[in-house]
Amino acid sequence: MHRFHLFEVEDQSWCPRPVRDGVTAQLAFIAHASDGFAVIVPRLLRAIERTGETRILDLASGPVAHGSGPRKRYETPDARSR
């Protein structure tokens, strides 16, 4: 099988900051507009309840400043009703 070596331009150090920030903001918008994390939030909450954990280590779900990733969904008071 032929391998394609692809990379994300916005992750490269030579990419201008406004381009990187714009791509990050666009990805966050798409994730929230499509409600793409809706499936995982109830499962994540059940796992937290089963283990008795009170903390979550959030790895690679995007920058908090842009609010990407599922973190905003499971931090809200109404998250358990979803």
- In whole angstroms, what is the distance from residue 37 CA to residue 51 CA? 21
pTM above 0.95, yes or no: no
pLDDT digits (tens, 9 = 90+) for 20-77: 989 888 887 887 788 777 788 888 888 888 999 887 777 766 555 445 555 665 565 5
Q: Is 46 strand, coil or helix? A: helix
